[in-house]
Amino acid sequence: MTPDITQDAVVIVPGIMGSELYDTVARKTVWGLSGVSWLLRAWTQPKGLEPLRMTEEELEGRTGRIKATRLMRHSSWTPYLQGLEPYTDLVGAVGTCVADPAAVLEFAYDWRLPVSTNGRLLAEAARRHLTAWRQHPAHDAVRRVRVDERPARLVFVAHSMGGLVTRAALGPTHDADLADDTRAVLTLGTPFYGAVKSAVILNTGRGTPVPLPHRQLRSISATMPGLHDLLPMYTCLVDSDTVRRLTPGDVAGLGGDAELARAAAEFHQKQAGIVLPGHRAVAGTSQRTLQSLTVSDGVAKPHHHGPRQHTTGEFVRDRRGRLVFYDVKGDGTVHKESAAVGPAVTPLPLQHGAVASDRVVLKAVAEILREDEHLGPPQGAPGCGLEVPDFIGVGTPWTVKLSGPDSLAGLACEISDTTGQNARPVKLGWGDGDIVARVVVDAPGLYRVAARTIDGHTVTQLVLAGDDGTGEALSPR
């Protein structure tokens, strides 16, 4: 039998913090090392991630100190963004659909930089990749067994911020023919309208004490253009009896940079008219996700709900004229309506960091690459929401919460280290109307919580266990 493979060239574009970074001056990897010990050192030691801080030269466009080397190959963790699964499974799934490994480009990039900068670099890399693949001997060989025998075109598979980078690359600014040479774009949890969580990251440490890992993230993100490009660009700031967009002044008040916020808003406005060729979007659902915020005395209070507007632009209000709020949920980082963009959207009950490694998503990727009908998720697979703290204290009990299922029947939950070893079941029960479990870990490390529902769908999330840098035990928030 002739294998069902594509003649197209595939480009895999990771999300924020999805590329390993190497400091060419210090000659060491500063993001993406394997092992839990590195993660704990990075996040729980003061200035453990100082090399990631943007320098004045980098902010002025003189880059090169930091080099992106490859896609993440190890499970990782970041405060607020929480668990980040590696791209190994995605790369493997794509590899089964192409005629030769040379047809696949893994586009690693410095995610600290502006999306516009990385979009230009991606446009250049994608053009080189397509040209080289069309000249490869395996390209003509596979064309002969395809129905249309056409030359290769590009297919982009992009996770999270990678979708924004791909959109920037396909705009007319860089390569006017690149969009015509693209057959399809598959985005996985891309925040096309931004994410409230990015504003919360910039505001970390305002008002209440937080663990050291969260302060570290806020510190390195405050001058990072890439993080500002993820700020919500929709009306999300609840201000008295109305809702408006964040202004550069608002962002500065939260702890960010007004000029970076202004540049991000202008960039997104220019990007709004770009239509992605053959776009299919995967949007996470069922997970509690921040959708709006209020601000008081410089302190942000995020909410798991948001307003909606009529087709006239007016906000939906009740009979008394009060704003009506809705909870559309999402993937824990990106709310559904920010990711569900385009003519074809597949909703799946997944956490943001695991979208690119889920078996159903990998099946969808394979179907699109092979140009078969996009079937979407299995029918009757609602899955469940999974909620865990993002950082826990060793020896301190913490709570796993499942939402969606109305019965314990058929539910299973377990916790293991990221190697898959030492897995142990977690006993589920009812608490305050939710399905919950109390868990304690006895050693620092990166752990994976997995919940499986009666329909056979599994949702996972990573959690880092350590201390807050002061030696004091942490209480789950």
Report the distance separating Cα 15 and Cα 71, nearest Å.
Answer: 10
Give the pLDDT confidence of 241-280 residue by residue, as tens digits.
999 999 999 999 999 999 999 999 999 999 988 999 999 9
Grade residue 372 by pLDDT with cuts at 50, 70 and 90: very low
In 3D space, the residue among 271, 118, 296 whose CA is nearest the CA of residue 194 turns out to be 271
Grade residue 421 by pLDDT with cuts at 50, 70 and 90: confident
List 325's β-bridge partners, or say none.
Answer: 307
- Whether 476 shows a pLDDT value over 50: the answer reads no
In this chain, the answer to whether the domains covering 1-234+246-289+328-377 and 385-466 adopt an identical fold is no
**With respect to CATH, is domain 385-466 assigned 2.60.40.10?**
yes
Grade residue 209 by pLDDT with cuts at 50, 70 and 90: confident
Residue 194, pLDDT score: 97
Domain ranges of the chain: 1-234+246-289+328-377, 385-466
Residue 46, pLDDT score: 85
Chain centroid offset of residue 407 CA: 30
Lowest mean pLDDT among 23-27, 31-35, 100-104, 381-385: 381-385
Mean pLDDT value of segment 425-437: 92
Grade residue 81 by pLDDT with cuts at 50, 70 and 90: confident
Residue 164, pLDDT score: 98
Report the distance separating Cα 14 and Cα 349, nearest Å.
Answer: 20
What count of Cα atoms within 13 Å lies in the side-chain half-sphere of residue 202?
A: 31
Give percent helix, percent strand, percent coil of the chain, each to the nearest 5.
25, 25, 45
Instruction: Decide if 462 contacts 353 (C-beta within 8 A).
Output: yes
Which parts of 349-457 are beta strand (E)? 385-387, 391-393, 398-403, 412-417, 424-425, 429-431, 434-439, 445-452
Classify residue 151 by burial, with Cβ atoms within 10 Å: 0-12, 13-18, 19+: middle
CATH number of 1-234+246-289+328-377: 3.40.50.1820
Q: Is the pTM of this model over 0.95?
A: no
Residue 5, pLDDT score: 92
